[in-house]
Amino acid sequence: MPSGVSPEQAATTLVYRSCLLLDEKKFNEFLDLCTDEFHYTITAYSPEVRAEMTWMDEDKASMKRTLDVLPRHNSDHSPLSRHATVYTVDYDDSKKEASVVSALQVFKTSLDGGVTQLFAVAKLYDIISVNGAGARFVRRNVRLETRMLGIGSHIPF
Amino acid sequence: MSRNAVQFQQKPDFPASHFVDTRIYTDPQIFREEQEKIFKKVWMVACHESELANPYDYRTYQHPGGANLFLVRGDDMKIRCFYNFCTHRGNTLLRDPSGNAKHITCIFHMWSFDCRGSLSDVTREKEGYQSRIDKESLGLREVRAQVDFSGVVWVNLDDGCTDLESYIGEALDYLKEELSAEPLEVFHYHRAIVETNYKLWHDTNSEIYHDYIHYHNRKTGMMQKGYFDRKFHCFPNGHGRLDSMEIRYDAYEGTDGQRRLDWPRAPKACHKFIDLFPGVTYNLRSPTFRLDSMIPLGPAKVMIEYRGLAPKRDSAAERRQRVKDYIGIWGPFGRNLHEDLLAVRGQAQALAGVQSYILHAREEGLNSHDEIGMRHFYAEWTRRMGRSSSDPYAESVGTRDKVDRSAMAA
């Protein structure tokens, strides 16, 4: 972590950098921002069945395996744009960890014509390790408000 | 060789059962007829009984025939279904998709109904109506509802419909052991509104020739011994199923290649699916089970409900594993579901404004890539609609007479 940068600033920058890398589908570079014990989930609450839903549940290795074969799947190639706003950063100096809550909107732009539509609204709940080596994701939970995702997505938010 | 406009509209050189006119997927008039002649007449899946676990639990349901309904578990534990409609001024009674309500009270003027559909309270009744109303005659409109075939809650808007057992017949027997082994509950629910015709989704569930779209399936399933030997079986009322096979998850690239769980009484890593006319699919891909039901919203718009079901007795660790196994393939971020939905949306885009024919003509001795499942579906569709799926406007001489006679005979 560069000198003069606070743990809060480092954690905030990491969240924004992750959005840029995911927008550019630089998945390996995104995973480089994560610790080996990284755990990624997408969850939502369903008022229809009154239960918690898990829609993606990956560790670093399984996420890499899934993303590596993505080009062999048939996927919607419409670009996604993530718009994040970091709301709160709570840094625990004893653990060298920051707990970060961010708002997230994901927009989808059609390849044919370039129409942009709001795809999903969510919050990011990140646990970020911040120490001398820099800031790295330990855990990310994408907590979706939007539960109707049309044809869905192969790309994590 | 490409074709000109006239050639493009010529019927394929196959029997009429082996192709359909594309306008059955796009014509608003045909869709309205489907609502009347099919959706308002057949048994539809509204929810699963585990969504109504306790007395007074309710669940709303948008019926594809057009009516908004709700289901409620009574104080006698029976699940009943009613129009979600206050008999006073027609307001929606229950606005949340689920909940628990001992008294079903309209927010508008606070008329209340009980869990059996009776009007139980009218605010300022004597002042306004004196003795001029009979609350007995102002109860809710009840709809036939039945819980069966592994806790699924079925509804039928037609009071004079055939009973559910007769409608399903033997179509679900192939999963009887697996689905009756233990009580089930919903662990996953999501909906997708897709710009496509509902029949195109059901077509996709009725044939596995489309395994070519799935990276996992074309690189694994189709390579396995026995894949092409599976037989499709047809049942009365347009239902059908394909024989099972063992899925080689260890060959799935991009996964950890394991399925640690089994499904009670199911063959290891089996894949059994059963399609029920006009839009329900039971899909067991051991160790996970998916129930699809459709709410067509228009000729080019369908809402599909996906429910993941699991044994209630799952431990926390088992449930987490079952969820992972399910969502990796079938969740909104799963590998296969997204590919399926890309295909059916693409079909609707291509079919819009086009009058031509598409084929259901593969014959492989009823084996895996035979398109008998779709032919069987459209035979039932033709019978119920009184229109030929290959000639829906009776433009060929004599077609209308033939279809009418066929419908009358049925």
Predicted TM-score (pTM) of the model is 0.94
CB of A154 closer than 8 Å to CB of A25: no
The residue among B70, B75, B71, B69 whose CA lies nearest residue B54 is: B75
Query: What span, in angstroms and rounded, lies between the C-alpha atoms of B53 and B31?
Result: 35
- B98 and A50 within 8 Å at the Cβ level: the answer is yes
Amino acid letter, B94: L
What is the C-alpha separation between B107 and B402, in angstroms, rounded? Answer: 53
Return the residue of B nearest to A50 by Cα.
Answer: B98
How large is the ipTM?
A: 0.95
Walk along chain B (410 residues) and give the pLDDT tens digit of each residue.
Answer: 999 999 999 999 999 999 999 999 999 999 999 999 999 999 999 999 999 999 999 999 999 999 999 999 999 999 999 999 999 999 999 999 999 999 999 999 999 999 999 999 999 999 999 999 999 999 999 999 999 999 999 999 999 999 999 999 999 999 999 999 999 999 999 999 999 999 999 999 999 999 999 988 887 778 888 889 999 999 999 999 999 988 777 766 666 666 778 899 998 888 999 999 999 999 999 899 999 999 999 999 999 999 999 999 999 999 999 999 999 999 999 999 999 999 999 999 999 989 999 999 999 999 999 999 999 999 999 999 999 999 999 998 655 445 545 544 43
What pLDDT score was predicted for residue B410?
39
What pLDDT shows up at residue B254? 67
SS3 content of chain B, % helix, strand, coil (to 5): 35, 25, 40
pLDDT value of residue A30: 98
Domains of chain B: 5-40+180-409 (3.90.380.10), 44-149 (2.102.10.10)
Q: What is the mean pLDDT of residues A123-147?
A: 96
The percent of residues above 90 in pLDDT, for chain A, comes to: 96
Q: What residues does each domain of chain A span?
A: 7-144
Q: What chain B residue is nearest to A45 in terms of C-alpha separation?
A: B189
The minimal CB distance from B254 to the residues A50, A68, A76 is found for: A68
Which residues are B281's β-sheet partners? B275, B292
Cα–Cα dist B326/A70, whole Å:
18
Tokens of B280: 């329900």
- Tell me whether residues B190 and A151 touch, CB distance under 8 A: no
| Whether A56 and B189 lie within 8 Å, measured CB to CB | no
* Closest-CA distance of chain B to residue A95, Å: 28
pLDDT of the residue at B409: 45
Can you name the CATH fold of A7-144? Nuclear Transport Factor 2; Chain: A, (3.10.450)
| Contact between A49 and B323 using a beta-carbon 8 Å cutoff | no
Q: Could you read off the pLDDT of A3-27 as tens digits, one per residue?
A: 789 999 999 999 999 999 999 999 9
In SS3 terms, A65-105 reads as: HHHHCHHHCCCCCCCEEEEEEEEEEEEECCCCEEEEEEEEE
Q: What SS3 class is residue B8?
A: helix
pLDDT of residue B115: 98
Among B333, B336, B341, B347, most A C-beta atoms within 10 A, so best to mutate, is B333
On chain A, the residues whose CB falls within 8 A of the CB of B256 are 62, 65
Place of tokens 């732009």: A109
Structure-token match 């001024």, residue found: B89
- Does the distance separating the beta carbons of B191 and A148 come in below 8 Å? yes
Interchain CB distance below 8 Å, A57 and B255: no
Residue A122 and residue A144: Cα distance in Å, rounded? 4
Contact A154 B345 (CB under 8 A): no
A-B interface: how many C-beta pairs under 8 angstroms? 106
Pick from B11, B71, B77, B73: nearest CA to B45:
B71
Give per-residue pLDDT as tens, B308-353: 999 999 999 999 999 999 999 999 999 999 999 999 999 999 999 8
Nearest to B72 by CA among B123, B124, B110, B116: B116
Please report, for residues B39, B155, B277, B344, the alpha-carbon distance to residue B198 in angstroms, rounded to integers and kept in the order given.
Answer: 12, 19, 11, 9
Give residue B255's pLDDT: 67
Q: Are A48 and A131 in contact (CB under 8 A)?
A: no
User: Which amino acid is it at B33?
Assistant: E
Nearest Cα residue in chain B from A150: B192
Per CB-CB distance under 8 Å, the chain B contacts of A151 are 192, 194, 338, 341-342, 345
Q: Residue A88: pLDDT band by 50, 70, 90 thresholds?
A: very high
DSSP 8-state code for residue B410? -
Which residues of chain B make contact with A150, given a CB cutoff of 8 A? 192-194, 341
* Chain A residues close to B345, C-beta within 8 Å: 151
Identify the pLDDT of residue B5.
Answer: 93
Q: State how far Cα A15 lies from the chain centre.
A: 8
Given an 8 Å threshold on Cβ–Cβ distance, is B98 in contact with A48?
A: yes
Partner-chain residue, chosen from A49, A62, A151, that has the shortest CB–CB distance to B338:
A151
